[in-house]
């Protein structure tokens, strides 16, 4: 009986030693594989800050206390002529009295959004030491985006709708012409005339033959005022009741 109990204790000790060995082996394998348990992997922290692509001189430049960023320039999102955006930005900054390299460089990212802001965030740290370098890199990267800008031929496709007011038509037209670089006034005027509905105003233009955009706009303003007056009368005109209509009809037949 004593021998049997001793054998049971020996087997229990062996079992304990084997389990411990397997646990150590499992731990060593897990460490060797880099802890492959997906639940125990700590995800990397998301980067929430942008790398600074500017040189030390631009980065350390102290912005003037009274400097205010212009707020009338729409951010560039990656579609349109990048050169036009650069020119607008420079003219606005110059108008506000800011025309040195550090201010231009530090202010420019404010007017980027979408794909353009993503482009800026990927510029190498310390790679930009002047606004000329920043502008060149920007223009080269988005050079293909210029194809989205309408050309002067597109103006011939803008036609006044059958029930569209002259004001609404010219507003649509103006939004497109703003985006067309170097648009000649002759092409502009011809496209405006061609897009009009065949109504009285087109007949007026055909008779008066305005030779400049200023002359055309002068005629157009008069026509817009007439259209707005007619619309106001239509809205304010009281609706005739059925009884009044029948009474008027009876009086007219007698």
What is the SS3 string spanning 117-140? HHHHHCCCCCCECCHHHHHHHHHH
Mean local confidence (pLDDT), 118-122 = 93
The domain ranges of the chain are 56-148, 152-236
* C-alpha to C-alpha distance for 187 and 167, rounded to whole angstroms: 20
Mean local confidence (pLDDT), 165-192 = 82
Is the model more confident about 22 or about 134? 134
If you average pLDDT over each of 83-92, 171-180, 243-252, which comes out highest?
Answer: 83-92
What digits encode the pLDDT tens for the residues 55-114? 999 999 988 888 888 888 889 998 888 988 999 999 888 876 666 889 999 999 999 999
pLDDT for 4? 57
State yes or no: pLDDT of 136 exceeds 90.
yes
pTM of the model: 0.45
* pLDDT-based confidence at residue 3 (cuts at 50, 70, 90): low
| CB-CB contact of 131 with 101 (8 Å) | yes
Burial 42-72 (b: 16+ CB within 10 A, else e): eeeeeeeeeeebbbeebeebeeeeeeeebee
Stretch among 14-18, 51-55, 82-86, 130-134 having the lowest mean pLDDT? 14-18
CATH of domain 152-236: 1.10.1200
Mean pLDDT of the chain: 78
What digits encode the pLDDT tens for the residues 207-240? 888 889 898 888 888 888 888 888 888 887 765 5
* pLDDT-based confidence at residue 48 (cuts at 50, 70, 90): very low
Mean local confidence (pLDDT), 21-25 = 56
């Amino acid at each position: 009986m004593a021998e049997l109990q001793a054998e049971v204790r020996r087997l229990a000790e062996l079992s304990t030693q084997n389990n411990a060995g397997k646990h150590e082996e499992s731990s060593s394998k897990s460490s060797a594989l880099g802890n492959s348990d997906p639940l125990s992997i700590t995800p990397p922290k998301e980067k929430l800050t942008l790398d600074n692509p500017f040189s030390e001189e631009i980065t350390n430049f102290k912005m003037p206390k009274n400097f205010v960023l212009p707020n009338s320039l729409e951010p560039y999102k990656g579609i349109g002529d990048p050169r036009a955006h650069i020119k607008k930005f420079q003219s606005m900054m110059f108008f506000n009295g800011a025309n040195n390299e550090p201010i231009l460089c530090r202010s420019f990212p404010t007017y980027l959004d979408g794909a353009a802001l993503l482009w800026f965030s990927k510029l190498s740290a310390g790679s930009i030491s002047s606004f000329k370098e920043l502008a060149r890199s920007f223009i080269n990267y988005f050079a293909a985006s210029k194809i989205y800008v309408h050309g002067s031929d597109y103006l011939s496709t803008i036609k006044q709708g059958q029930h569209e007011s002259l004001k609404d038509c010219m507003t649509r037209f103006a939004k497109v012409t703003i985006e067309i670089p170097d648009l000649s006034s002759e092409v502009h005027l011809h496209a405006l005339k061609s897009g009009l509905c065949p109504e009285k105003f087109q007949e007026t233009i055909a008779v008066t033959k305005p030779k400049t955009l200023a002359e055309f706009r002068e005629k157009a303003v008069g026509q817009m005022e007439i259209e707005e007056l007619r619309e106001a009368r239509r809205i304010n005109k009281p609706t005739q009741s059925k009884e009044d209509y029948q009474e008027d009809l009876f009086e007219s037949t007698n």
